[in-house]
């Protein structure tokens, strides 16, 4: 019997966030995929693209979510709350699947109905409650209200494994729980890999700077990172603001990022500093580098060693005579 693992393709305001990620601030538009849309109940579609909620520990807030069917046939959806996180690949905004354990806003969101059928070219609005536990940590707890299509689309599979695909659209929930807010950011595990021609000047050298950007605080940050490379005697070799960053780094999340450096030095010694900034936060990470032309250096060492050996042999022969 063939087993059918199901893959959830989760769509958000940016489209397929688990596939495409989020590199810039999302547009103010309802979350949709062309067939259905999910958005906060409002006078018109897209006028309130996200839920912005604030609550104290132990309190309950209520709101309404609208699911709009843009097709010519009825669609049935499962409604549930989900925690949000940053994807490992590029830091895009993504949310947990229904099968995953929810520990934050996703566990606190309870739709009045967990299943809804939306007629063709129509919309259904469903109330939901968000109950914050009395012991909830203060700060931001991002999540989403998700409408999961119950249909399973057929996908490609290899061998005895058939692949099923379920799609979902999520309306983001930005929840702040009352209490002290502590912004904190760190740049960790900075590494450098270098690719240089064997003979200096015969090709272009390249380097890849890798680093981990971690949000250690309890509020969402909009980070910026500047890279500066210095060589011998403090010479500035490279200085640039990095643009391949997530639009928002969620609390307690970390992402691994890389930056290409074309034309890195072929003969130098220095260090690279990455400085991350956000509101009220500034932290740096550093890695040193040594660029040497290994082939000419090895040839020089081998030649010098051979010369020393030859000199000793000549002296030994001279003493023997």
**Conformational region of residue 34, where left means phi above 0, alpha means psi within -120 to 50, and beta covers everything else:** left
Angle at 242 between CA 241 and CA 246, to 5 degrees: 135
Reading the chain (321 residues) residue by residue, the pLDDT tens digits are 333 333 344 443 333 333 223 333 344 456 888 899 999 997 555 567 899 999 999 999 999 999 999 999 999 999 999 999 999 888 999 999 999 999 999 999 999 999 999 999 999 999 999 999 999 999 999 999 999 998 877 655 555 555 567 899 999 999 999 999 999 999 999 999 988 776 666 678 999 999 999 999 999 999 999 999 999 999 999 999 999 899 999 999 999 999 999 999 888 899 999 999 999 999 999 999 988 764 454 444 455 554 555 566 666 666 665
* Residue pair 141/127 in contact by the 8 Å Cβ criterion: no
C-alpha pair distances (Å), 171 with each of 19, 29, 54, 92: 17, 10, 16, 15
Got the DSSP string for 13-62?
A: TTEEHHHH---SPPPSS-EE-SSEEEEE--SSTTSS-SEEEEE-TT-EEE
Residues 6+ apart with CB under 8 A from 160: 2, 3
């Amino acid at each position: 019997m063939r087993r059918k693992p199901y893959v959830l393709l989760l769509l958000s305001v940016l489209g397929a966030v688990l596939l495409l990620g989020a590199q810039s601030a999302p547009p103010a538009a309802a979350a949709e995929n062309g067939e259905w849309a999910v958005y906060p109940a409002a006078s018109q579609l897209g006028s309130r693209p996200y839920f912005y909620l604030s609550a104290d520990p132990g309190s309950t807030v209520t709101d309404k979510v609208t699911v709009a069917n843009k097709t010519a046939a009825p669609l049935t959806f499962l409604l549930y709350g989900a925690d949000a996180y940053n994807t490992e690949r590029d830091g895009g905004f993504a949310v947990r699947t229904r099968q995953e354990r929810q520990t934050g806003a996703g566990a606190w969101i309870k739709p009045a109905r967990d299943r809804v059928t939306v007629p063709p070219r129509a919309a259904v609005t469903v109330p939901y409650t968000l109950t914050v536990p009395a012991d909830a940590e203060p700060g931001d707890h991002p999540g989403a209200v998700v409408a999961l299509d119950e249909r399973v689309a057929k996908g490609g599979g290899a061998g005895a494994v058939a692949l099923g695909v379920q799609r979902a659209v999520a309306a983001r929930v930005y929840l702040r729980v009352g209490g002290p807010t502590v912004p904190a950011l760190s740049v960790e595990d900075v590494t450098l890999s270098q690719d240089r021609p064997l003979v200096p000047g015969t090709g272009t050298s390249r380097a890849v700077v890798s680093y981990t950007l971690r949000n250690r605080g309890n509020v969402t940050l909009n980070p910026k990172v500047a890279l500066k490379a210095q060589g011998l005697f403090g010479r500035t070799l490279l200085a640039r603001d990095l643009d391949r960053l997530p639009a928002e780094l969620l609390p307690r999340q970390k992402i691994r990022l890389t930056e290409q450096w074309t034309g890195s030095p072929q003969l130098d010694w220095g260090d690279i500093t990455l400085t991350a900034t956000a509101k009220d936060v500034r932290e740096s990470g550093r890695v040193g580098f040594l660029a040497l032309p290994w082939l000419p250096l090895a040839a020089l060492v081998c030649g010098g060693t051979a010369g020393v050996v030859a000199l000793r042999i000549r002296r030994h022969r001279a003493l023997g005579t």
